[in-house]
Structure 1
Amino acid sequence: MSKLITETQRLIIREFNLDDVQAVYDFNADERVNRYTGDAGVVQSLADAERIIRDIWLTEYLQFGYARWAVVLKESNQVIGFCGFKNDYRINETDIGYRLSPEHWGKGYATEANKACIEYAKAKMDLDYIVGDVVEQNQASVNVLLKLGMKFNKRFDDLGFKIIRYDMYLKAKS
């Protein structure tokens, strides 16, 4: 049984487990999903999906107390993607992110899930500050970050992409 993180009207947010291998493969299989992530081609098999769950997410839950969480539709109990935070060692910040199967795009799930994650973090996590990095051409993700209340921080180049960084303080600055 996976640890429940939070719920919304339509979604369950929980930790991933090894029973989610097929779902992780499925929501990464469509090349449109990873087009702007730098992760294109990373999940090409069930073994790749299992490796991500076991070696990244389950490890980070133990190390940091958080990592990307499963987005589950309440009505069907189907895992449709991920949301939430990761400790990004490359930038020494906590990043908020999301990835959903294309058939679930445009329904407000990314915003709904990550608003719930932010509220959870404010109430139950020791996080003061988060960033959201998005490829400039990915306007849908820019819109999600803005709906979350994040503010423009800077533009920069990374892995061949033009990136826009947004940020947010979760606790009042003293």
Structure 2
Amino acid sequence: MSIEAAGTNHSPVVGAVVVETPRLVLRRFTPEDAAFLLGLLNEPSFIANIGDRGLRTIEDARRFIVEVPMASYDKHGHGHFRVELKETGAVIGTCGLIRRDYIGETDVGFAYLPAHWGKGYAYEAAVAVMEFGRTTLGLQRIVAVVSPHNTASIRVLEKLGLRYSGPTQLAADAETVHLYV
């Protein structure tokens, strides 16, 4: 597994490779990824397990990419990255590190198109992203938040070595989620 230093200077490098694993390449999102992200964030499974981001158009998705992952790359040196298959270049999901200011933590998160579930991609990418966070960014602690009913993601988090710590909220008016540390 190779880890690139993209993001260590906190300046956005458009489409830069951040991490490679034996089967995957993780890159920074760019506005050109809007169609993919629009599809992923409107998957019924994404809405049920993570939430409805309210993106309905390509322009909504482009704006989201600029305001959320690209802004996070600039501010923190990390964010969500697009996950593509090394063999074909097909974009299959997202995995990354998110600074959750409300809880004062950085968490690992992921989402994949249903056709790519059950193949170990979520675990493979999350291991690489957490290693990137620890070694390249110097993060001492990486947590995860997950909907209590999202059993597949909970299994991945436990395989990563994270353990249930208790309920938490990501904002004052948000639903309760489970914190894994």
The TM-score with structure 2 as length reference comes to: 0.85
- 8 Å Cα contact 2:130-2:142 kept in structure 1: no
C-alpha separation in 2, matches of 1:64 and 1:4 = 16
For 1:108, the equivalent position in structure 2 comes to 120
Runs (5+) with no aligned partner, structure 2: 1-13
- Letter aligned with residue 76 of structure 1: T
Is the contact made by 1:21 and 1:46 (CA closer than 8 Å) also made in structure 2?
yes
Give, in whole Å, the separation in 1 of the partners of 2:84 and 2:165.
31
Partner of 1:164: 178
Give the AA of the match of 1:11: L
More strand by proportion, 1 or 2? 1
CA distance in 1: counterparts of 2:138 and 2:174, whole angstroms: 33
5 Å matches for 1:22-171? Answer: 22-37=35-50, 39-156=51-168, 161-167=175-181
State the partner residue of 2:3.
none
Distance (Å, rounded) in 2 between the aligned partners of 1:76 and 1:70: 14
Structure 1 unaligned regions, length at least 5:
168-174
CA distance in 2, matches of 1:57, 1:161: 22
Alpha-carbon distance in 2 for matches of 1:84, 1:157: 20
Runs of 4+ in 1 over 6 A off after TM superposition: none
Report the more deviating stretch, 72-81 or 95-104: 72-81
Is residue 7 of structure 1 aligned with residue 20 of structure 2? yes
**Alpha-carbon distance, 1:101 to partner:** 0.9
Q: How many residue pairs get matched?
A: 166
- Looking at structure 2, the residues matched to 102 and 138 of structure 1 have their Cα atoms a distance apart, in angstroms, of 14
Q: Please tell me the residue identity of whatever aligns with 2:23.
A: R
Deviation at 1:156, TM superposition (A): 4.1
- TM-score, normalising length: structure 1: 0.88
Q: Which amino acid aligns with 2:26?
A: I
Shift of 1:83: 0.4
- Separation in structure 2 between the aligned mates of residue 105 and residue 122 of structure 1, nearest angstrom: 26
Question: Aligned pair in 2 of structure 1 residues 103, 128: CA closer, same or farther (>3 Å)?
Answer: same
Quick one: distance in 1 between partners of 2:45 and 2:87? 25
Q: How far apart, CA to CA, are the structure 2 residues paired with 1:119 and 1:157?
A: 26
